[in-house]
Amino acid sequence: MTALPRRQQNRLNRERAILDAALKVFAAQGFTGATMNAVATEAGVTKPTLYSYFPSKDDLFHAMMLAKRDLMLDVFDHPSGSMVADLLGFAWAYADTVMRQDMLSLARLIIGEVSRFPEIGRAYQASGPDHLLHGIMQYLETRRDAGRLAFDDAELAAQDLWGLILSAPRTQALYMPDALPDRAMLDRYITNGLRVFLKAYSTTPAQDLDQLTALCRQEPQ
pLDDT at 26: 87
The SS3 assignment for 149 reads: strand
Look at residue 54 and tell me whether its pLDDT is greater than 90.
Answer: yes
The SS3 assignment for 202 reads: strand
Provide Rg for the chain, Cα atoms.
20
pLDDT band at 130 (very low <50, low <70, confident <90, very high): confident
pLDDT band at 219 (very low <50, low <70, confident <90, very high): low
Residue 204 and residue 73 in contact, taking contact as beta carbons nearer than 8 Å: no
pLDDT at 48: 96
Q: Which residues of 3-156 form beta strands (DSSP E)?
A: none
pLDDT at 2: 62
- What mean pLDDT do residues 4-23 have? 89
Residue 93 and residue 71 in contact, taking contact as beta carbons nearer than 8 Å: yes
The DSSP symbol for 2 reads: P
SS3 string, 99-131, reads CCHHHHHHHHHHHHHCCCCHHHHHHHHHHCHHH
Length of the chain: 221
Q: pTM for the whole thing?
A: 0.79
Give the chain's domains with CATH numbers.
6-66 (1.10.10.60), 74-216 (1.10.357.10)
Q: Give the mean pLDDT of the chain.
A: 89
Span of 1-15, 117-131, 177-191, 201-215 with lowest mean pLDDT: 117-131
